[in-house]
Amino acid sequence: MQTTQVIVMTGCASGIGRHLTKALAGAYRIVATDVNVSGLEQCARDDAWPMESVKTLKLDVRNAGEWEETLRVALAHFGRVDVLMNVAGYLKPGFGHEVDASEVDKHLDINTKGLIHGCRVVGRHFAAQKSGHVINVGSLASLAPAPGLCLYVASKFAVRGFTLAIAQELSPFNVHVSLVMPDAVQTPMLDLQVDYAEAAMTFSGGRALTVQDLERVFIEEVLPHRPLEVTIPMTRGLIARLANLMPATVVTLGPAFTTQGKKKQASIKALRDGK
């Protein structure tokens, strides 16, 4: 059964955003955005997004003006906006002393500044209407620093700090804020890490989460109950929180997790390559 609520979602041409658009389109009206317009339109065709409940729109999250236009179009098309879901993200493995300067900008511009622009523009609208729900997708890397992913970690640590701060700022306006922090999810972002030795720790857990795992958490927990923070899965989340509380444990235990990750990463690569 469809509600009257409207979601503005980023990163809908791939991975988590694409799946959530399809999964939620029957219950919500969605403004599905992405910088990749052709990819977005292809997803709409391939996944048969219902035209009456999904409006596709080009949005480069790094562009503050495009955020203003996205809000304007969403209000003109559906008449309201109730939920902002910042899903868009970027990751390229690399060690901090070796990464190119352009990668510093790309990680922070997309993962951090793009999300902040969205919260700023849509958050202002929510505060004025005295209701709304901001959902930011972070990562367990928002809690535990993973070597080889330092730029991604930096961007996601910043996302957590910003999210917790605006949760307090928007609370008096009856606006709820949630941060969803998943472990590695089986998406193109995970696929690309298989070929980077620097990303070994990504593979140190159990099975990778699926987009269906995230769908269940969003539908059963995040959207109806609007928690401040959610880690997925809970067990890895507890380990990440321990690392956050006791940073020295990362230095002590990190090499063991990296070694474990290297073995699994090699197995995944061998299976993929048919070896």
Contact 170, 177 (CB under 8 A): yes
Mapping DSSP to helix (H, G, I), strand (E, B) and coil, where does residue 223 land? helix
Q: Could you tell me how far CA 241 lies from the centroid of its own chain? A: 18
For residue 213, give both structure tokens.
């795992």
What is the spatial distance between Cα 150 and Cα 263, in angstroms, rounded to a whole number?
21
What is the spatial distance between Cα 35 and Cα 49, in angstroms, rounded to a whole number?
18
Sheet holding 132-137, edge to edge: 54-58, 29-34, 6-9, 83-86, 132-137, 175-182, 229-232
21 burial (CB, 10 Å; 0-12 / 13-18 / 19+) is: buried
28 as an active site residue: the answer is no
Please list, in sequence order, all residues whose beta carbon lies within 8 angstroms of the beta carbon of residue 122, skipping any fewer than 6 positions away: 8, 67, 71, 81, 84, 132, 134
Calculated CA dihedral for residues 109, 115, 118, 119, nearest 10 degrees: -130
Contact 129, 170 (CB under 8 A): no
Q: Which residues are catalytic?
A: 152
